[in-house]
Chain A
């Protein structure tokens, strides 16, 4: 008999296998669900964490301002006139200072602060945990601070400050910023919006020990430094102009002085000297020191003066242009040296000249000769001539606070104006306006827009070094022939031994220019102050291809030392032209230079 087979062992194994498979699937499913749950939780924590968790995360993130740099102000060769640098603020947390007396001595003596002041500051703001000892530590103090052993309660943090590395050079022009880095004066104020940077922010995630882990991307914002502003000023020419104007002011005991150096073809202002000099770093003393407050003004743009005889070449050229006078025409300037116009008060020349040619009227600066020809012009034409040079309106040079001078409307002109305006009385101008008008003579008769900004891409020089200046032209005021003729006559005024501008004669360059001496008006506007003058000289060189126009105006020189424009301002103009042209690499056109040290003349 055969033994019945067991109820299928393979069947049991299959059951076990199937059960294990089911259990395995269920387990796998559960694990999958668990993992999906975890994934969802991670997503929730990342995307929208609960308030408690979010607070915990926020507590681990610290944000800091990412400082951006205020735009630098540079000269035409990218040399910094105003820049931003980092200083360090020194502060104390009195909460963790055990003995204020010892503490103030331990930091006061080595760093050069008065310990009593530190202690007083700490006592004054009791309860505060942030007491500033020094808002901007000097470099020396910062070095000493770093050598000090760590002191609980004392710390620093970096702050941005505006730095004026050139000191007084172009100080009035550049201006200054306040403690919050906002422009308060000069170009710092005028260009404040352009110079203001856009600060950013960076945020870090910290661990429990406040150690920096990584950047928190969401709170990160990149800073944007402001672009630098490039001026037309040339730092070397500026230093030369300031040097020479300051020397003239000191030599003649004058109250103040201005110097303008301009490129006659582009209208770029290459130097703008104002004496007394002003260092923008001294702006905190403005209120306490009247001398500093007085020096702060950019006189070349904001102060007006009666130009005197430097006005004559403009009227002289207009008369020639209109055919009302010929350079060789003889004009009777009287043997007595005085003359009564058809209408208006009597006129005088400084010396009797007798009969002069129209060219010599300009060379000898005869008031009578000018007035006689002005009578031929008449008031409307004379007014139109003065207006055509832009007098009476600001030049739009971009200089802050620039004024337009005074030119009364034609219907307000009296007959006196017809004889006085040609000799530079009855109108008021700025140094910039005079330099611009003279530039028109120097560049062949074209009135250009002066500018304080570098004209990149607007100007170009051809093979002869001549400039294409079409972009800057305001108007043509003279024909090239008459402009050239006027310059030649002015060249005689400087180059000939009996010319009024002989003090500006150079052994290096052919200079042409005009002297001006005008009395200062009384403060109430009625009449003039006896013995007080504005002595000016406007010049350009070289005669055949002028590269620089220079105007030097000296206010109220000591009469005993000299007051004629030719004596006071002429030599200064000459020195600026000589040193400036040599610096620019312009070959002397008179003779070989025998004074090579000119460009490196000692600082006055």
Chain B
């Protein structure tokens, strides 16, 4: 009887330890998710910044000025794309 009880208690302890480990793992995953979430939000904003900077650097007036500074001559390739 004693051994049965002992076995039962041990089994319960093992299950409890496993559950605890799983819970701990879940919390770690949740923490990692939270950190990722924050990182994603920051990266999203960095992307917005990058988009704005690209737009600033590539607008027609800036491009023409850059081409002039570099002594380049811009030419249109005719009939490349008929759609405006």
Question: A85 CA to B48 CA in the complex, in Å?
Answer: 5
Q: Which residues of B contact A76 (CB under 8 A)?
A: 84
> From residue B62, how far is it (CB to closest CB) to chain A in Å?
8
The digit string for A233-266, where 1 denotes a CB below 8 A from any CB of B, is 0111111100000000000000000000001000
Given contacts A20-B1, A84-B48, 4 further A-B contacts (CB under 8 A): A165-B59, A583-B76, A600-B64, A603-B61
Question: A66 CA to B81 CA in the complex, in Å?
Answer: 42
> From residue B36, how far is it (CB to closest CB) to chain A in Å?
10
A461 interface residue per 8 A CB criterion:
yes
The B-contacting residues of A in range 191-248, CB under 8 angstroms, are: 202, 204, 212-215, 234-240
Please, which residue of chain A has its CB at the minimum distance from the CB of B48? A85
Some 23 contacts from A to B, beta carbons below 8 A apart, are A17-B1, A24-B5, A67-B41, A80-B51, A83-B48, A83-B52, A85-B45, A85-B48, A85-B52, A166-B55, A167-B59, A167-B61, A202-B37, A202-B41, A214-B30, A268-B84, A584-B82, A585-B80, A586-B82, A596-B75, A597-B74, A599-B75, A602-B64
Please, which residue of chain B has its CB at the minimum distance from the CB of A547? B84
Question: A20 CA to B59 CA in the complex, in Å?
Answer: 90
> From residue B6, how far is it (CB to closest CB) to chain A in Å?
12
Main SS of the interface on chain B?
A: helix
Whether B49 contacts A596 by the Cβ 8 Å rule is no
Q: Which residues of B contact A112 (CB under 8 A)?
A: none
Whether A80 contacts B61 by the Cβ 8 Å rule is no
Whether A21 contacts B1 by the Cβ 8 Å rule is yes
Whether A163 contacts B52 by the Cβ 8 Å rule is yes
Whether A69 contacts B5 by the Cβ 8 Å rule is no
Contact of B41 among A20, A66, A263 (CB under 8 A): A66
Please, which residue of chain B has its CB at the minimum distance from the CB of A213? B31
Contact of A79 among B53, B59, B74, B81 (CB under 8 A): B59
Please, which residue of chain B has its CB at the minimum distance from the CB of A593? B78
> From residue B34, how far is it (CB to closest CB) to chain A in Å?
5
Whether B73 contacts A596 by the Cβ 8 Å rule is yes
> From residue B48, how far is it (CB to closest CB) to chain A in Å?
5
B15 interface residue per 8 A CB criterion:
no
Whether A461 contacts B34 by the Cβ 8 Å rule is no
Whether B73 contacts A263 by the Cβ 8 Å rule is no
Whether B82 contacts A461 by the Cβ 8 Å rule is yes
A86 interface residue per 8 A CB criterion:
yes
Whether A461 contacts B59 by the Cβ 8 Å rule is no
Whether B81 contacts A585 by the Cβ 8 Å rule is yes
Question: A582 CA to B75 CA in the complex, in Å?
Answer: 9
Q: Which residues of A contact B31 (CB under 8 A)?
A: 212-214
Contact of A214 among B1, B33, B56 (CB under 8 A): B33
Question: A349 CA to B49 CA in the complex, in Å?
Answer: 59
Whether A587 contacts B55 by the Cβ 8 Å rule is no
Interface centre among A79, A85, A166, A602 (most CB of B within 10 A): A85
The digit string for B62-84, where 1 denotes a CB below 8 A from any CB of A, is 00110110000111111111111
Interface residues of A (CB under 8 A from B): 17, 20-21, 24, 66-67, 69, 76, 79-80, 83-86, 158, 163, 165-167, 169, 202, 204, 212-215, 234-240, 263, 268, 270, 461, 465, 547, 582-587, 596-597, 599-600, 602-603
Please, which residue of chain B has its CB at the minimum distance from the CB of A87? B49
Question: A238 CA to B79 CA in the complex, in Å?
Answer: 20
Q: Which residues of B contact A599 (CB under 8 A)?
A: 74-76
Whether A169 contacts B59 by the Cβ 8 Å rule is yes
Q: Which residues of A contact B49 (CB under 8 A)?
A: 85-86
Q: Which residues of B contact A166 (CB under 8 A)?
A: 55-56, 59, 61
Contact of B76 among A20, A80, A585 (CB under 8 A): A585
Contact of A86 among B33, B45, B59 (CB under 8 A): B45
Please, which residue of chain A has its CB at the minimum distance from the CB of B45? A86
Q: Which residues of A contact B45 (CB under 8 A)?
A: 67, 85-86, 158
Whether A169 contacts B78 by the Cβ 8 Å rule is no
Q: Which residues of B contact A582 (CB under 8 A)?
A: 76, 78
Contact of B84 among A215, A270, A597, A602 (CB under 8 A): A270
Q: Which residues of A contact B37 (CB under 8 A)?
A: 202, 215
Whether B60 contacts A169 by the Cβ 8 Å rule is yes
Question: A289 CA to B84 CA in the complex, in Å?
Answer: 37
Please, which residue of chain B has its CB at the minimum distance from the CB of A211? B31
Please, which residue of chain A has its CB at the minimum distance from the CB of B49? A85
Whether B60 contacts A213 by the Cβ 8 Å rule is no
Please, which residue of chain A has its CB at the minimum distance from the CB of B57? A165
Question: A547 CA to B38 CA in the complex, in Å?
Answer: 50
Contact of B27 among A79, A158, A214 (CB under 8 A): A214
Question: A597 CA to B1 CA in the complex, in Å?
Answer: 101
Question: A156 CA to B84 CA in the complex, in Å?
Answer: 45
> From residue B29, how far is it (CB to closest CB) to chain A in Å?
9
Q: Which residues of B contact A240 (CB under 8 A)?
A: 60
Please, which residue of chain B has its CB at the minimum distance from the CB of A168? B61
Q: Which residues of B contact A596 (CB under 8 A)?
A: 73, 75
> From residue B9, how far is it (CB to closest CB) to chain A in Å?
9
Please, which residue of chain B has its CB at the minimum distance from the CB of A69? B48
Q: Which residues of B contact A597 (CB under 8 A)?
A: 73-75
> From residue A590, how far is it (CB to closest CB) to chain B in Å?
14
Q: Which residues of B contact A585 (CB under 8 A)?
A: 76-82
Please, which residue of chain A has its CB at the minimum distance from the CB of B72? A600
Q: Which residues of A contact B75 (CB under 8 A)?
A: 596-597, 599-600
Whether A212 contacts B38 by the Cβ 8 Å rule is yes
